[in-house]
Amino acid sequence: MTNRGIGRVERDSMFPIPSASDLRRKRLRTQEAPTVDTMLGNIDLPDRLYFKFANLIYGAAGISLGDARRGLLRSRLSRRIRTLGLQSFDEYWSIVSRQDVLGDEFVEMLDAVSTNQTEFFREEQHFRFIGDTVLPALSIHGRTNRTRQLRFWSAGCSSGQEPYTLAMVVRESLPAGAAWQVRILATDISTRMLRIAREGVYEEGNIMAVPRRLRQRYMDREKRPRGDSYRIRADLKRMIAFRRLNLMEEEFPFSDEFDVILCRNVMIYFDRPTRERVVNRLYEHLVPGGYLFIGRRESLNSLESPFRLVQPSIYVRP
Ligand X SMILES: C[S@@+](CC[C@H](N)C(=O)[O-])C[C@H]1O[C@@H](n2cnc3c(N)ncnc32)[C@H](O)[C@@H]1O
Angle at 173 between CA 135 and CA 204, to 5 degrees: 120
SS3 for 95-135, per residue? HHCCCCCCCHHHHHHHHHHCCCCCCCCCCHHHHHHHHHHHH
C-beta of 180 vs 188, nearer to ligand X = 188
- 266-285 residues near ligand X, rule: CB under 6 A: 266
C-beta of 12 vs 100, nearer to ligand X = 100
Question: Beta-carbon neighbour count of residue 270 at 10 Å?
Answer: 20
CB of 296 to ligand X, least distance (A): 9
* Alpha carbon distance 156, 187 (integer Å): 6
CB of 119 to ligand X, least distance (A): 6
**162 is a site residue for ligand X (CB under 6 A):** yes
| β pairing state of 219-222 and 229-232 | antiparallel
CB of 274 to ligand X, least distance (A): 8
| Segment near ligand X (CB under 6 A); pick from 2-10, 33-41, 113-121, 124-132 | 113-121
Sheet arrangement for strand 201-203: 201-203, 229-232, 219-222
Active site (annotated) includes residue 76: yes
**122 is a site residue for ligand X (CB under 6 A):** yes
* Alpha carbon distance 113, 63 (integer Å): 9
| Segment near ligand X (CB under 6 A); pick from 12-20, 139-147, 186-194, 308-316 | 186-194
In this structure, the dihedral spanned by the alpha carbons of residues 251, 256, 259 and 264, taken in order and rounded to 10 degrees, is -30
| Contact (Cβ atoms closer than 8 angstroms) between residue 198 and residue 242 | yes
CB of 22 to ligand X, least distance (A): 56
Q: x/- binding map, residues 80-99, to ligand X, per CB under 6 A?
A: --------------------
Active site (annotated) includes residue 122: no
**193 is a site residue for ligand X (CB under 6 A):** yes
Q: How many residues bind ligand X (CB under 6 A)?
A: 24
Q: x/- binding map, residues 42-81, to ligand X, per CB under 6 A?
A: -------------------xxx------------------
Which one of 188, 259, 264, 275 is the catalytic residue? 188
CB of 39 to ligand X, least distance (A): 29
**109 is a site residue for ligand X (CB under 6 A):** no
| Segment near ligand X (CB under 6 A); pick from 2-10, 128-136, 200-208, 241-249 | 241-249
Interacting residues with ligand X (CB under 6 A): 61-63, 114-118, 122, 156, 158, 162, 188-190, 193, 245-248, 264-266, 295
Q: Which residue numbers are catalytic?
A: 76, 188
